[in-house]
Amino acid sequence: MKKHCHGRRHSQVNASCGFALAETIIALLILSIALLAIAIIPIMSSKMAIQTTQRERAMVLAYRGLDYLESVGPLIAVMSPDIQSGDFLITYIKPAYTAASADYSSRVIVNWSGVPGEKQLVLERKLSRDSHQTRKE
């Protein structure tokens, strides 16, 4: 007579002996989910690194634009069309100073197409009538 499962005869084999097909499939399913989660980690970290680099570049462009607008004389208004700088579109906005201006500020808007879609960064800086005197000649 054939022996199965730890030396027991076929007639003595009970349900607790060995792995069933269902148990094996469940174990493989759990293993595949864990491996998939581990495989996604490098992809997500690369995506986040790209987003961070793009946002950092947009911040540099925006601060550079704010510094430029601050250096322009108070009587000069600046309203630029979108200026292309690589993958970025930059808009500069600065009104001319008037004594009645309660809110004299400059604004830079940076748009770019990022990994998750279209992104926009808006920075604004309050200006004084004499803020242009801080520039270096």
What is the per-residue pLDDT across 92-126, written as a single tens digit (0 to 9) for each? Answer: 999 888 877 777 889 999 999 977 789 999 999 99
* Whole-prediction pTM: 0.68
pLDDT exceeds cutoff 90 at 60? yes
Q: What is the rounded CA–CA span in Å between residue 83 and residue 114?
A: 18
SS3 of residue 121 by DSSP: strand
pLDDT digits (tens, 9 = 90+) for 22-45: 888 999 999 999 999 999 999 889
Torsion (CA) 54, 59, 64, 67 in degrees, nearest 10: 170
Domain that holds residue 54: 3-134
Model pLDDT, residue 10: 55
Instruction: Quote the number of domains for the chain.
Output: 1
